[in-house]
Amino acid sequence: MEEDTEINKKPEIDLVDDKGNTAKLEVYEEKEEPIKEEEVIKPKVEEKIKEEKEPKKPISKRILDFYDKEYKKLMVIPFAILLIAMIVIGVQTATTGSFIYKDVSLKGGVTITITKGANTDITALESALRTQFGRNDISVEPVTESGKQIGVIILADIEGTDKNVLDTFLSTVKSNLDYTLNEDDYSVEIMGSSLGSSFFKETFIALIAAFILMSIVVMIYFRTFVPSIAVILCAFSDIIVTLAIVDLMGMKVSTGGIAAFLMLVGYSVDTDMLLTTRLLKRKEGTVFERTMSSVKTGMMMTMTTIGAVFVGIIFVRSAVIKQIMTIIIIGLFVDIIFTWIQNTGILRYYIERKASKIRNE
């Protein structure tokens, strides 16, 4: 037992040399000695910091990465805006009986355009007229040129076809001005209430007809349900949200304003058609690369139009044209959100889901 123990402690191996002599070779287990702390190679502090810190991406790159990867989350924004807009229009309809504020060209009344009196106090004149004609809806707006007031427009839903009522209203206007008003200094436009109401119905029907025809053309061109619905939904959203903003501004929409909404149908579809065509019809590059190519072209189109319309708002004297351009510029900004977030998100989800089905098959 002692020998076995000794052998276990000190193992030996029999060796034979070339002369036939045997010898014992003792084998000793090597003991591991602890590594001294000073022998450990430690990385320099500066090198460690460099390894831990990754280079930061430019903010534009991070925004694009977020736009690329989180497009589904971003879609919550336009749908939330659309829901709020529909609530605003619903409240407007419930409280006033109409989904827009109509001016005299749509509900009947008198429009007096005064081209004299650049320093007319609009607030005081409007207050005085409302005091004496409390039952009527009266508003006074400035006529501007290059940003300067050159006159005023008075809108009143009085019965202009009645000469006595019209003369009384004109006398009241003249008495509340601090200057003499001659016949050459103003013009009067009269719209009967029945004619105004009929005109509003006709223009509204024209707007609906234009939207329906646009939808048919889109369906025929793409012949695919989801992309076509995405384009139509985007155009619908543009009109609804723009209408809600116009209501919040308290803008009284004229016949020109209805024409602006008709024009907005075309403007909103332009960028949607561009985006949908490039994503579905073209095959070069990734889906995101084709999206960004569409964004660059579409934004250039939109910003060019906004610039031209903005110049018109500043320099044009006509209140009707100013209203048309104001509605268009609102709609173009709204279209940026719904085209490049809502429509893009729907199309990307559709394309990715379609590609996934093909792979699974």
For residue 56, the one-letter residue type is K
Residues 6 or more apart from 58 whose CB is under 8 A from it? none
Do 80 and 153 sit in the same domain of this protein? no
- Among 130, 161, 191, the domain boundary falls at 191
Rounded distance, CA 339 to CA 273, Å? 10
Could you say which DSSP state residue 37 is in?
Answer: G
* Among 248, 268, 263, CA closest to 324: 263
**pLDDT tens digit sequence for 242-291:** 999 999 998 888 888 888 998 898 888 889 999 999 998 888 888 888 99
**pLDDT tens digit sequence for 30-75:** 555 555 555 555 555 555 555 455 567 788 788 888 888 898 999 9
Do 164 and 176 sit in the same domain of this protein? yes
This prediction has a pTM of 0.75
The total number of structural domains in the chain stands at: 2
CA 95 to chain centre: 27
Do 126 and 264 sit in the same domain of this protein? no
Poorest-pLDDT segment among 88-102, 150-164, 239-253, 326-340 = 150-164
CATH number of 71's domain: 1.20.1640.10
Calculate the CA dihedral of residues 202, 207, 208, 211 and round it to 10 degrees: 160
Rounded distance, CA 328 to CA 263, Å? 8
For residue 76, the one-letter residue type is V
- Which stretch of DSSP H or E encloses residue 188? strand 186-191
What is the domain extent for residue 134? Answer: 109-191
